[in-house]
Structure formats: structure tokens, C-alpha cells
Amino acid sequence: MELGVNRYPRRDTRQIVVGEGPKAVPVGGGAPISVQSMTITKTADVDGTLAQIYSLAAAGCDIVRCTSNTTEAAEGLAQIVPRSPIPIVADIHNNYKRALEALEAGVACLRLNPGNIRKPEHIKAVAEECRDRNVPIRIGVNGGSLDPELYEKHGGKVTPEAMVESALSELAYFEEVGFDLVKISVKASSVPLMIEAYRQLADVTDHPLHLGVTEAGPPPAGLLKATAGIATLLAEGIGDTIRYSLTADPIEEARAGRQLLEAMGLRERKGVDLIACPSCGRAEVDVIKVAAEAQEAFGDRELPLQVAVMGCVVNGPGEARDADIGIAAGNKRGHLFIKGENAAVVPEDEMVSQLVEWAEFITEHGVDAALARVDRKKAAREAEKDRQALLEAQGDDANNAEVIIDRIRGK
């Protein structure tokens, strides 16, 4: 699959723009799906919050949310907004006045939970201010904090219908004052519930949708739940911006969001796509350890390549022939291959450092320049030598299945 090509037809939505000037991030209307996260610092701690925002941006976050629960937090936002590299959304809790303060601080968007601010005059006052300032709002319905009236109306249960109704009634208040710069989320901690709520919402509105599984919990289960919900909807063409809500360092959220979009071909690759074999009886190195070292070494570096770590030279280069670059272990050596072609032989303890060095070279100069630098014939001869040596030592059946089967039959 060609990178960056969207193979999931996307639902038509109107577009809103979060932020302005060079920091503007369009959401909906065919814009690239954006990644969001949220700071976990006190917003009044300006330097701490800014440091986290810069780390989030480096990890792939396009839009960041900060809590604006006190006047001190809004004062912090006034200093954070002009220095942030990405647009800031203020999360407003129970008091609509916090929304007005955050707008004064210059935030690029507000997030309102209809379950928290319920007085129509307050909702409309905020929407009017946003309308006059051209600042969008996310209507953030949350299954866990649904308006009690709607909860009762829907049989004392949080249902997809109740969540959609909550979003639509908030939208109706906005429409009354002529405000429509809106994106919507209907998050729940239950994956089936949030999937159904978003599907129903997508049927009745063309506002862009912000996807997420709320309170997904710590990784790895939290990552799986969020991915199950978000990826299912994205594959149906639903969703314009996403957030992983993990009980973890928010950098993990940004990284996961970015990686999901890249893996689905919905965003251009920015970082390394590390693939590795699962290892087996033929492995010549501890593949888990080498792959972890490679992951650590590449980190968030902007090397838009697929990189393979393979446990043996017998099958590795063939199995990973589509990778841009890879390394396979054999006879205490690392066999480096570029686009399926043997390129070099390196000492086993330099496998990771050489992989990184060559990945940097390819990113800067391209595959052809890299192949022109090496003696491919010699590398192929050496690889074949080690391959044959391994086959002789291990035979065709490296997992010893035949011996084991004989043993089973002898029981």
C-alpha cells in the first residue's frame, strides 16, 4: 500500500479550523485526521505545561487540550497560548465563566461537556462569545457524565440514543445564536457503546467528529480498547480528529494516535515503522531484545521508513523484502539489506547502531545512493555463506518438529 493514501472513503463533513495563522489545524472537510492529547500539569504552571506541550508536539500531537478549571489556570493559558507550537483547546468544567476567561486568554477552541454546563442561558452566552471571536467549540458528550434528565428519559441507562440526543440539544442552543463552528464527540468507556453512538451521530449531522474511548485505562489494555473503538470507526470513514485517553504519560497518547493513523495509511509516515519477526527456533539473536533496542534507538526520530529486525538470515531478508531497510542475524554477524538487496555485513553487536546509521543515510540521500555505496555482490555472497552454514547446522526443520513428533509417537 502506498503510504499516505487513504483507502477508507471518508464521510463528508463541514470543516472547522482550530487556531489561526501557521498554527491553524483544519478539522473535517477532507483535512488530514488530526491527533489530540491533553496536558496533565496544572495549567497555572506555565513552564511545566509548555514543556509538556512541546514534548507532545514532538510525539505527533496536532492539537492539545489544557484544563481551565480556575481563574489561575486561565491566567496561565494567557501566557501559554502565544508560546505553544500547536493550538490549545481549553477544557471547561462546571462553570461557564471559566469558558469566558479562557476565550479572553486567546485559546483556539473550547471543549464543553453538556452534562456539566446545563443552563441554556450560560450555554448560549459562551456560544455567542465564540461566534463573535470565531473560535470553535467541541461538544464533548461523555457517557459517564450524561445530563441526568436524559439519563432518566432513556430508562436510567447510558445509551447511544441518549448520547446523540445530548449532543443535538447542545447544538440546537448554538444554532439559536447563529453559531456553528462545532465538532462533536460522544465518548464512552465501553467500546461497543461509543462505536454505536458515533455511528448514529454520523447519520444525523455533518459536523466533524472527534473520536475517543474515554477512561480507556492504562496500557496495554487501554491502548487496545482505544484502538478497537477508534480504528473501527475510522475504517468506516467516521472521524476527523482522534484522542487516546490513556492512564499514562500523555506522550504515549500522542504517539499512539499518530502511529494508528500512519498504520492505517491515513497520515503520511513521519517516524519509523518498525517491523520484526516473532522469532522462532531458527533465531540467531534475541529478537525481542534487539527489536526493543532498535525501538529505543529510533524513538520519535523523523525517519519515515519501514525498518525490519529479523532473527535469521535464512528467512529474514526474504520475509522482510518490502522493508526499506532491515537486518538479519546469522553466524554472529548482522546482514544488512536495503529494499530486499543484501548491502553489508556488520558485527552482531553493531546491528542496531548500523541500522540507525543507514536509515539516516537513506532518509537523507535515498535508496539508490545507499546501494551505490556498498558491494552488493560481496554482501550477498557472505549472506549466502551464513545461510548455508545455518541450514547445515539446523537443517530445514529448525524447530525440530520432526524429532518432537517422533518422540510423541514413541509415547
Q: At its nearest, how many Å lie between ligand SF4 and the CB of residue 299?
A: 24
Q: At its nearest, how many Å lie between ligand SF4 and the CB of residue 100?
A: 59
Q: At its nearest, how many Å lie between ligand SF4 and the CB of residue 284?
A: 7
Nearer to ligand SF4, 145 or 295 (CB): 295
CB 257 within 8 A of CB 60: yes
φ, ψ dihedrals at 261, nearest 5°: -65, -40
Residue nearest to ligand SF4 (CB): 311
Q: At its nearest, how many Å lie between ligand SF4 and the CB of residue 280?
A: 3
Q: At its nearest, how many Å lie between ligand SF4 and the CB of residue 384?
A: 15
For residue 320, which amino acid is it?
Answer: A
Edge to edge, the sheet with strand 88-92 lists: 182-187, 137-142, 109-112, 88-92, 63-67, 34-38, 241-243, 210-211
Contacting ligand SF4 within 184-213 (CB under 6 A) = none
Bridge partners, 109 (sequence order)? 89
Nearer to ligand SF4, 67 or 279 (CB): 279
Nearer to ligand SF4, 211 or 277 (CB): 277
* Cα separations in angstroms, 104 against 129, 137, 324: 10, 15, 49
Q: Which of 260, 272, 283, 379 binds ligand SF4 (CB under 6 A)?
A: 283
φ, ψ dihedrals at 229, nearest 5°: -70, -50
- DSSP letter (8 states) at residue 21: G
Contacting ligand SF4 within 252-281 (CB under 6 A) = 277-280
Strand runs labelled E in 223-340:
241-243, 273-276, 306-310, 325-330, 333-338
Nearer to ligand SF4, 60 or 311 (CB): 311
Bridge partners, 330 (sequence order)? 333
Contacting ligand SF4 within 105-124 (CB under 6 A) = none
Nearer to ligand SF4, 27 or 283 (CB): 283
Q: At its nearest, how many Å lie between ligand SF4 and the CB of residue 314?
A: 6
Edge to edge, the sheet with strand 273-276 lists: 273-276, 306-310, 325-330, 333-338, 341-347
Please calculate the CA angle 190-112-121 and round it to the nearest 5 degrees. 130
**H-run or E-run covering 69:** none
Distance (Å, whole) CA 78 – CA 66: 12
Q: At its nearest, how many Å lie between ligand SF4 and the CB of residue 345?
A: 17
Contacting ligand SF4 within 32-51 (CB under 6 A) = none
Q: At its nearest, how many Å lie between ligand SF4 and the CB of residue 291?
A: 11
User: By rule CB under 6 A, what count of residues binds ligand SF4?
Assistant: 13
Nearer to ligand SF4, 222 or 330 (CB): 330
φ, ψ dihedrals at 357, nearest 5°: -60, -45
Contacting ligand SF4 within 294-333 (CB under 6 A) = 310-312, 314-316, 319
Q: At its nearest, how many Å lie between ligand SF4 and the CB of residue 233?
A: 33
* Residue with grid cell 523484502, as numbered in its chain: 321
Nearer to ligand SF4, 248 or 290 (CB): 290
Distance (Å, whole) CA 226 – CA 176: 34
φ, ψ dihedrals at 173, nearest 5°: -65, -40
Is residue 76 within the footprint of ligand SF4 (CB under 6 A)? no
- Residues of this chain that bind ligand SF4 (CB under 6 A): 277-280, 282-283, 310-312, 314-316, 319
